[in-house]
Structure 1
Amino acid sequence: MSPGKWLPLWLSWMGALVTVSQQAPRLLMVTPSVVPIGAEVGVVLQVEGAPSGLSGTVYFQNENDASVKCSTEVQFKLKPDSFLEKVTLKVTHDHFVQCGLSTQRRDRYIQLVAHSSNLPSSNGIQTLNLRWSARQGYLFIQTDKPIYTPGEMVNFQIFALDHKLRPTFEPVIITVQNPWGLQVRKDQRALCGDGCCDKGSTDNPSHL
């Protein structure tokens, strides 16, 4: 076959390739690499190669057991004029137990799942593996002295931050134990108006 006859065939093959590639939308999912249990997680969705947009649902699931979802399903609809959308998911403590994440000991992974009939996979599903953490935030405790003797007053200050190191308004439960690990005092304190600290004091019983 002469080179001149190959040119129309090559052009038609390239045209078919472009058409197939345009029919397969590409979904990009952006989210924090660690999913904190009990806290809201933002997920940014972006689609390419979908002139008519893309719609579906996103949720979390246990990669080892997809029968029970680890969060509620949230719908998304990426419009043709704006191929970007942010949704919010949350793995509650009930979901955490029901979907089997609480039984994981070593490989603590959770799957972010996007489902749409227009995705190129056979089941219309795209997944992303992420780590999960049961830690919702951080507590920083400051005392006026490093060592106390029995009967002294203990003055303290607590800073409570969420997983993004922002002040949180969650109440703080304070417990005091003796050297043998027995609890001798328990108290629940509300945070200050700015949500970042709680100042207080407690007796240091002489029988500790």
Structure 2
Amino acid sequence: MERLWILSCTLCVLLSWMHVDQAVAEPQYLVAIPAVIDAGAEAKFCATLRQPSGTLVMTVTLKSREKNTTLFTHTSNEAFQTCVQFKAPLVQKEVQDFQVEVRGDTFYSKQVRKVMIRASDTFTFIQTDKPIYLPGQKVNFRVVAMDNKMRPANQLYDVIELQDPNSNRIGQWLNETSNSRILQLSYSLDTEAREGPYQIIVSMGERNISHNFKVEKYVLPKYDVTLNISEEVLIGQED
């Protein structure tokens, strides 16, 4: 996987570090993060601090136009190496600033790199609990989003609407989010609901998916069952 490397010094200084007197050498730090992160997913970066001169504070911040999110703050006078997990923002596609700042009494350094956050490839499908409903019944349905590894995915549904046979919108839900779970919704049909094909449409940005079901007055089939059994049953019979 492509990595984003952030260094406190130029490459030539880093390579010549072994030849510098350690008593006067400056701190070295390294932070690695993937250059592309899936929106809403668990992401991770790793930070290393070497040869600190006194007490240093490392702060890692993810910055967008709307807000700044502090992902990590650590104060130490000793070398350390750690990895930090965080939840990526739920956006469609956005480039944000990944900032690393190291501050001490006699040392200060700040590096900023770009990180791409984009919605992962997901597929979404809709299910109803029945294919046919009577007027007045409740339609229970769910919307499921899965990533390319068949795991529940975070997905923002801009509009979820229910249309009758005349394409009239009779139900609507706005800005629903899956939060890595199955989104379950329901709608109670009117007792005088028009019979015919109904449609559930889910809009996600420029993508739309739909699912159809029917409303009609149906009668469950009737049938008779005749049992022919013996008048006597013996103990020990298998049947």
Q: Which has the higher contact order (CA 8 A, sep 6+)?
A: 1
TM-score by structure 2 length? 0.44
Q: Relative to total residues, which structure has the larger strand share, 1 or 2? A: 2
Bigger Rg, structure 1 or 2:
2
